[in-house]
Amino acid sequence: MPSFATPRPPVAAAATGDCAMPLPPPGWGASAAAAALEHARPRLSVPLAPPTEVLGNLTTVVLGAGEHVVKVYPPGTDATHLDFVNGQLQGSHSATVPVVPAVDTAYGLVTLAPRLAGGPEVSWPEVGALLRRFHGEHAGAAVPDWAPLSRLESQVASLPDHQAEVLRTARDQLLAALAGVHSELGHDVIHGDVSPANVMRRDGEPTLIDLDWVARAPREYDLASASRRFRAGEIDRDTYRDFCRAYGHDVMGWDGLPLIDRIADLAGVVFRIWDCRHHGRDLDWIPAELELWLHPL
């Protein structure tokens, strides 16, 4: 089985102006993912059953194939970035990592991970305890620096200039402010996309999956996901309290939280633009949205 190379880290997307994890173009989906898998199969170096079901189809396509899960990323995804991050996390006890390096094809980038048997749904308190283990286990790993809002440029490029400029300016102001944020928990490895949907059970124990956004950032970013759901009413007070106790910290008192929330909000706008285009929906909501970003801070 090929091993993950661990050369120097890839250049951060924020420094290059590129996005290591681009959103798929219109029309890309399960059919392209199946074609990518067939072209990648001879280079995967792992006996692989034929895919039998589509487990997910959004910005990536996830296929069930016997004892494995095949995750296919859209064309243009940076294999070097994914392989480097996955190489740093190999042997993880708190996350499930791909078992072979990514295989690039004209139809998309193919990765392969063990398929987990599943089990009872993972609770938010269990997520808190798991995050604590993940942060501790991988502290100091040489993953790339966080590059928030790296997908914005590709999505605003075809908007009218005055609309694109509002969102670009908002991004620039948020990132400039982020440089001055003090982290109480420290800048270190984060998962980057925390929710119970990205946690499954391995031998009965919770394990993190979907490691696409692992980076070095304020650790509070991983905790902010639960706090936003609590404030939105998706998590009740007792559940949120137990999440904080399990992790050992409540991010609600952190002075950087409003900025992190604004960054997450703008990322949501970027995703909504992509989602509308991908599904042929109107963008007539953008002018009203832009009013909220004239003063992003």
Question: In which residue ranges of the chain is CATH 3.90.1200.10 found?
Answer: 124-291
Tell me the C-alpha distance between 163 and 290, whole Å. Answer: 7
**Predicted confidence (pLDDT) per residue in 244-258, tens digit:** 999 999 999 999 999
Give the model's pLDDT for residue 43. 94
**Predicted confidence (pLDDT) per residue in 64-83, tens digit:** 999 999 999 999 999 999 99
Q: Over 70: is that where the pLDDT of 232 sits? A: yes
Question: In which residue ranges of the chain is CATH 3.30.200 found?
Answer: 13-114
CA distances from 254 to 26, 236, 239, 243 (A): 39, 20, 20, 16
Sign of the torsion angle spanned by Cα atoms 253, 270, 274, 286:
positive
Name the maximum alpha-carbon separation found in the chain: 54
Give the model's pLDDT for residue 17. 40
Strand order in the sheet with 68-73: 53-57, 61-65, 68-73, 108-114, 103-105
218's enclosing H/E stretch is: strand 215-218
Q: Over 60: is that where the pLDDT of 8 sits? A: no
Please, which pLDDT band fits residue 9 given cuts at 50, 70 and 90? low
List residues bridging with 62 in a β-sheet: 56, 71
Q: Over 50: is that where the pLDDT of 12 sits? A: no
Class of domain 13-114: alpha beta
Tell me the C-alpha distance between 207 and 224, whole Å. Answer: 19
Query: What number is the average pLDDT over the span 262-281?
Result: 96
**Predicted confidence (pLDDT) per residue in 52-63, tens digit:** 899 999 999 999
Question: What DSSP designation does 59 have?
Answer: S
CATH for 124-291, options being 3.40.50.300, 3.90.1200.10, 3.20.20.80, 3.40.50.970: 3.90.1200.10
**Predicted confidence (pLDDT) per residue in 158-193, tens digit:** 999 999 999 999 999 999 999 999 999 999 999 999
Tell me the C-alpha distance between 46 and 41, whole Å. Answer: 8
Mean pLDDT of the chain: 93
Summary count for the chain: helices (H), strands (E): 10, 9
